[in-house]
Structure formats: C-alpha cells, structure tokens
Homo-oligomer: A and B are copies of this chain.
C-alpha cells in the first residue's frame, strides 16, 4: 500500500469537550511557535497526537542524548473547566502548497472527533523594523470572535496584512471555516521578522491568556526578550547612525 500523505498517530485516547484549538507553527519571527511552546510548557499540556507526513522534510532531528527523532507536527491537550485547550505545533510547516493544505485538512478532520468549537491561529506580522511595543493584529472568520478580542486590544485593520495570511495560520482559519464550519480567529504579533521574536510572542500570549482566562505568568518570556534584546542592541550599536533610524529602533 502507498503511504498516506499525512499519518496521524494517536498516542492517547482522550475525549476533549468544548475545545479551543490553538495553532502555533514556525513562521514569521517564529511568533506562533514561541507562543505555542510557552503555553505547552507552562500549562503542562500533554501530547496525545503525532502527525507525520511526506510533506515535511525527509529528516530526523538529533536530541541531547543523540536520539534520532523524525520531524513531525503534534497536538497537545489540557483539560479545563469550561472548555479544553488543544495546541497544534510542529518542527516544520508543509514544504509545498499542497502539503500545507493536506496537513491542515487532515488535522481539521480529526477536530470533528475532538469537539473543537473554535480555532485560534497565531503568527507574526512582518513590519520590517524593530518596535518597542508590538501591537497585535487580528483577522477572523466569525464576527463573534472578533468582538470578544477587540475589547482586549487586538487591532482589526482594513486589508492588513496586505499579502494576506499564508501557511497554517491562514489555512486553519480558511479551511476550518469553509469546509468544517469551525469559527476562527488569527492573532498576529508585529515583528521585524528578522529573528525569532519573543517580545512579539509575549504580546500575543498575553491577549491569548486573557481571552481564554488562563492564569499563567509570562516571566520566562521576559527572560527570552532580554536575551534577544542584548543581541539586537549590539547589532544596532554597530550600525552607522543613519542605519539605526532605518531599523526604526527607538528604545
């Protein structure tokens, strides 16, 4: 038999109720993945699904103990009163357009069995310069979700981002709504896009925690922000004056 394009390996048979699916994949400024990883870590969410696919790179990653681990996407869960939390993340996004569609579609199919009531995708919004306090932009497929997060400071802006939202952050929204009838919201943290950006991820995380009414701190993200800022400050200092302005850094 031929290999399925996307293979779902169920590690534990859980029955989520009234669940919110959070999608945080590698991408612009790595905002989505940093946020997803942080939530998984701090909420002690447990992995229950591995997703393998020939649309991911043909590669194993090597761990600290020299163990080989096939690249994958994963779903974590956390039981909660009032609605469970599912978090979808992974080492890579699909390598091709078809790959990204097929992985998203397959995971959305499973969501039918996981009582997913809403999808929140996370990403970065590339603005090409450093900012002191990244804003969080939003897009949606269901007006009700928009109203809820607009109060929390999320900005819904006409035709922004101009290039739309590409990859999993866009497809979970679009396919989820059009083919699976699940309402969705995308939260995008402003980021230079030049490096992994925990500062942007922190702003996204704060809004997400407030929206979901989850009580965890963001201290460890602050530490990551400091690390990155030390590095970027050095880079900026080494730039000639006029270039500093271009970088838009005004800290």
Give me the interface of A with B, judged by CB distance under 8 Å: 1-7, 9, 50, 52-71, 94-95, 97-98, 100-102, 104-106, 109, 138-141, 146, 156-168, 170-171, 173-175, 177-179, 184, 186
User: Can you add 18 more A-B contacts, CB < 8 Å, to A55-B98, A58-B94, A66-B159?
Assistant: A2-B4, A3-B101, A3-B106, A5-B98, A52-B179, A59-B163, A59-B174, A60-B173, A62-B162, A63-B159, A64-B158, A65-B156, A66-B140, A66-B156, A68-B173, A68-B174, A70-B175, A70-B178
Contacts of A60 in B (CB 8 A): 139, 164-165, 170-171, 173-174
Contacting pair B178 A55 (CB below 8 A): no
**Residue of B1, B97, B157, B177 touching A58 (CB-CB under 8 A):** B97
Known contacts A68-B184, A156-B66, A177-B70; is-contact A2 B102 (Cβ 8 Å) = yes
A-B contact pairs, 9 of them (CB 8 A): A50-B178, A54-B101, A58-B97, A58-B104, A62-B139, A64-B158, A68-B164, A70-B177, A95-B97
